[in-house]
Amino acid sequence: MICPNCNEEIPEGKKFCGHCGHRLISTDLVDREPQPHVEPETPEMPTPAPGAQKSHTPPADVTKRGLPGWVWGLVGAVAVVLVLIATGTINIGSAIPEIIVVTEASPTEEPDKQESIVATIEDEYGCDDPIGCVTYGADEPVRIASALVISGPNTDLGTDSQYGVEIAIDFKGDLLGHAIELQAEDDGCSAEGGQTAGQKIVSDPTIIAVVGTSCSGAGVPMSEVISEAGYAMVSPSNTAPSLTDPDQAWNPGYLRTAHNDKVQGKAMADFAYNVLGVTTAAAIHDGDPYTEGLARVFADAFEEIGGTIVEFTAVNKGDTDMRPVLSAVAAAGPPELLYYPVFTAEGGFLTKQAKEVTGLEGTILAAADGMISIAAIEAVGEAGEGMYFSGPDLSFSGGTYEKFLAAYVEKYGSEPISVFHAHSFDAANMIFACVEEVGVQDGDNLHIGRQALRTCLSATSGFEGITGTLTCNEYGDCADPKISVSQLQGGGYVRIWP
């Protein structure tokens, strides 16, 4: 199928062009196979008795033959109006509101004529954005959504980011005179959760943009849902390389303030080989885009600088007995270092059971940012003492972060519980900045073009956030990526490198 706006080839069934964002209004008319005309079957009439008078009243289904259905719909509507006038229900001397009637196109109506009708309606509303506008009336809040993991074993990861969004809203106050309202959804840290949250969000046309998801596994399906509906999303913690790779999972309208794991995997390999001095390692993932992507980058980078990967393997999400996989790792090496960038539940079992497997007693254990949280400390227990964790460098500075931390503690009663609170704060503020840039004030009304918002977000350059100076590339990588390694010491994460 070819986009009529930019002439680029696009997959069948898409509602929007992934290249220019053009709404494919007439896809169903252009691509539909012509159907042969079938005359309605006339019911067999009984043969009149000899001498009986023949009726000249045609069968009920024949009275409408030859006239399109929309004509009869119009006739019916006119009849109803005439009855209402006759009964005094409608006073023809009073103002009559404009009524827009949308009917099914007749077979002879050209697709470009249909597009011009829709364009005319959009012009009446003052919107010429190719994928539509969101309009907020007087006293109506600008609405954004979040889609973060706020239930289950990874709750700390998403809740921490949720707090970042809420503080950003508190600090901002309003957008062009309109309050800001947040609709919070749960991405479940799963593909199913991301799909469900995305579908719920796009069913609400008053939502302009999304901060989410927490987990890359949820981000892959949700980014497709969000993109096809013409929305925009900025993730604070999706780090899988595939999500900003146009040959894999990137979709128009998707961006992130989190680092790309191409950076984190290389940094961890550098730390292991050049700082810890290990030359053999193994990697374990759980099949999630985040865990598998990061493990793969680490393994490739470790070998590139001279190390040896003795085993690259996987566990299943939800597994509790990790001993068979750990035994296979021990038999293959054993490695000097075992890197398992998984989430809290699986990471807890791997950490504790690695201590029980013969051959791994002296192996250095290491994980990543999916296990940097209070819940993860509890999950690994004493077995996690001394292990290493790669993740975003949290050595932020400046007045904004100091104010942010004070607000976090005052509002939620603790220091940050995970690592992406600042990234979600920056993600929300990127959206706010673009709403202010592209929003059109019309009296008390505010109009925001969806494609205009996407274009503005993608063009972000030199944006000063808590996490650094953000500049987005064409596929949505916006982070100023800084990676550090922490060690679990005395029940807390202590930054040790660089």
pLDDT one-digit tens code per residue, 213-270: 999 999 999 999 999 999 999 999 999 999 999 999 999 999 999 999 999 999 999 9
Mean pLDDT of 329-346: 97
Instruction: Tell me: pLDDT of 11 over 50.
Output: yes
Q: Select the more confidently predicted residue: 477 or 99.
A: 477
Instruction: Tell me: pLDDT of 23 over 90.
Output: no
Q: Say if residue 212 is in the same domain as residue 322.
A: no
CA atoms within 13 A on the CB side of 358: 1
Question: 103 lies in a domain?
Answer: yes
Instruction: Tell me: pLDDT of 19 over 90.
Output: no
Instruction: Tell me: pLDDT of 467 over 50.
Output: yes
pLDDT digits (tens, 9 = 90+) for 61-90: 333 334 445 444 554 554 544 544 454 444
Question: 33 lies in a domain?
Answer: no
Number of domains in the chain: 3
Q: What pLDDT band is residue 29 in, cutting at 50, 70 and 90? A: very low
Mean pLDDT of 306-315: 98
Q: What pLDDT band is residue 485 in, cutting at 50, 70 and 90? A: very high
Q: Say if residue 440 is in the same domain as residue 469.
A: yes
Q: What is the pTM of this model?
A: 0.76
Q: 191-202 vs 216-228: helix axis angle to the nearest 10?
A: 30
Question: 498 lies in a domain?
Answer: no
Q: Say if residue 411 is in the same domain as residue 467.
A: yes
Q: Say if residue 87 is in the same domain as residue 103.
A: yes
3-state secondary structure (DSSP) of residue 86:
helix
CB of 106 closer than 8 Å to CB of 143 = no
Task: List the single range of 94-103, 111-120, 150-159, 404-413 with lowest mean pLDDT.
Answer: 94-103
**Whole-angstrom Cα distance, residue 447 to residue 239?**
32
Instruction: Tell me: pLDDT of 425 over 60.
Output: yes
Question: 325 lies in a domain?
Answer: yes
Question: 454 lies in a domain?
Answer: yes
Q: Say if residue 409 is in the same domain as residue 379.
A: no
Question: 419 lies in a domain?
Answer: yes
Q: Say if residue 291 is in the same domain as residue 235.
A: no
Q: Say if residue 152 is in the same domain as residue 99.
A: no
Strands 233-235 and 178-186: unpaired
Q: Say if residue 447 is in the same domain as residue 298.
A: no
Mean pLDDT of 16-45: 43
Q: Say if residue 378 is in the same domain as residue 402.
A: no
**Whole-angstrom Cα distance, residue 22 to residue 28?**
15
Q: Which helix (H) or strand (E) holds 390?
A: strand 388-392
**Whole-angstrom Cα distance, residue 369 to residue 388?**
10
Opening angle at CA 122, ends 118 and 125, nearest 5: 150
pLDDT digits (tens, 9 = 90+) for 110-135: 334 333 333 333 344 579 999 999 99
Q: 């409408």: which residue's tokens?
A: 64
**Domain closes at, from 327, 354, 386:** 386
Q: Say if residue 11 is in the same domain as residue 119.
A: yes
Q: 């309606």: which residue's tokens?
A: 121
Instruction: Tell me: pLDDT of 399 over 70.
Output: yes
pLDDT digits (tens, 9 = 90+) for 171-229: 999 999 999 999 999 999 999 999 999 999 999 999 999 999 999 999 999 999 999 99
**Domain closes at, from 70, 92, 124:** 124
Q: What pLDDT band is residue 4 in, cutting at 50, 70 and 90? A: confident
Q: Say if residue 426 is in the same domain as residue 452.
A: yes
**What value does the mean pLDDT of the chain take?**
84
What CATH number did the domain enclosing 301 receive? 3.40.50.2300
Question: 54 lies in a domain?
Answer: no
Q: Say if residue 277 is in the same domain as residue 316.
A: yes
Domain that holds residue 89: 1-27+79-124
Question: 53 lies in a domain?
Answer: no
Q: 């229900």: which residue's tokens?
A: 89
